[in-house]
Copies of this chain bind each other. A is one copy, B any other.
Amino acid sequence: MTDERAYVLDHIADLHADLDAWLRIPSISADPELAGEVRRSAEWLAEAFRRTGFPTVEIWETPGAPAVFAEWPSGEADAPTIVVYGHHDVQPVDPLELWETPPFEPTIRGEELFARGALDDKGQVAFHLLGLRAHLAATGRTAPAVNLKFVVEGEEESGSPHFAALLRERRDRLDCDAVVVSDTTMFNRETPSVCTAMRGLTDCQVDVHGPDIDLHSGSFGGAVPNPLTVLCELIAGLHDADGKVTLPGFYDRVVALTDEERAKFAKLPFDEQQWITETAKSRAPYGEAGFTTLERIWARPTAEVNGVWGGYTGPGHKTIVPTDAHAKLSFRLVADQKPLEVQAAVKQYFAERTPPGITVGVHFYGDGVRPCLTPIDHPANAAVVRAMEQAFESEVLFTREGGSGPEADLAEVLEAPVVFLGVGLPDDRFHAPNERVVLPMLHKGAEAAAHLWRELAVTDLSR
């Protein structure tokens, strides 16, 4: 047994006691009436960092809920600097009546701990406290082997509205060689895995204008362009028969999956039929030819129609050629696509294909979200894999995520590779009643964190 594991197993009660205290604080960032509780959660965490030995601990104010910053320099020359990201706010709890035990009264049943935030994300922040102590104890160090910085925000469950600005404002304090995100899941309990990428996003509204008034389809139909027909044709034209997106240059920057990553994906025990019917509540797979379902949602960009409206949509019928048609479109992006280039391609697509007599306006919501990708053979990922393998004593596979939250901001603002150390399980019911964390997973998380600082200390992150 490694010294790290021995320490973790000896001190599990400390981790449970930490969580029991922290999880009793109802830090729901979406509820303005609980703003005081979110602050109390930040203060609890700041105190826990101090207790653990961090010499610098600060509450960082934002226009919304406060974040917690903690820093512990290694003291070693040339030690890499690591930022750990997590969040201390939690999801709302309704419907309350579906909880078997109250959401803010942490309850252990068997090997599971039930409470709102047990996994997402207090559990995955708390395991770092024990993990770091195990790292120090096992290595006999008085400071971590890497320069450690934690930034734990308080508004992730509200969409991180102020986090990107906070990162930019505190850019110098957060300078680092890699970011470790602890807010994700593994493939399943038997399959430890590391997330390596998140898709980006850019989305827009398309406004199509035809006649200046709704026209009688008997008197005019067939002789003037119908904006709804044109919109449907333009949307239909976004994909070819192979399900590929036809936007000019859309795939030019896409980083192809490597044979190794595809092979690792294929080793995941993924039941496509179950995912389609039970998870996606759908009846058939669909997508870009030549890719599996997992590859489609993790590693390929998309063009989706999120909404369409125009013309008469009430009860009964009204036979018009309508004046207007509208759609909301979103594009999921993968490394190294750039949201602004995709926006330009979308505008070019509509400009080039709009037929005479129709005008099309395309309005994008902001600058979009960049995709992020840390290749599976990147030294930082290799370090995470080694740490996980020591904790789980099992081959570590790779996953990706189809969407992203603040991770994209971390990668973009801090200009550092983002890696993921997460031990949640897909059925941990985060965001739902009876959220839980499986305690053996939590302990493995602490142990993997303990290994990780030692592994990263000997990793060249300059690549």
Q: Which residues of A contact B (CB under 8 A)?
A: 199, 201, 203, 205, 210-213, 215-226, 228-229, 231-233, 235-239, 276, 280-288, 293, 296-297, 300-302, 304-313, 316-322, 325-328, 330, 332, 355-359, 365, 401-404
Contact = CB atoms under 8 A, between A and B. Distances in A.
Contacts of A316: 365
B220 A297 contact: yes
A328 B311 contact: yes
A308 B322 CA distance: 10
A312 B307 contact: yes
A223 B287 contact: yes
A307 B205 CA distance: 18
Given A236-B233, A305-B232, A332 B217 contact: yes
Q: Work out how many copies of this chain go into the complex.
A: 2
Nearest to A292: B223
A281 B212 contact: yes
7 contacts: A211-B282, A215-B282, A218-B332, A219-B401, A221-B402, A222-B296, A286-B356
A17 to B, nearest CB: 35
A231 B215 CA distance: 23
Contacts of A312: 306-307, 328
Nearest to A212: B281
Given A218-B403, A282-B357, A235 B229 contact: yes
Contacts of A281: 211-213, 215
Which of A201, A203, A221, A285 has most chain B Cβ within 10 Å?
A221
Contacts of A222: 287-288, 296-297, 300-302, 304, 332, 402
A293 B220 CA distance: 9
Contacts of A357: 276, 282-286
B325 A308 contact: yes
Nearest to A238: B229
A292 B297 CA distance: 48
A225 to B, nearest CB: 4
A129 to B, nearest CB: 30
A22 to B, nearest CB: 28
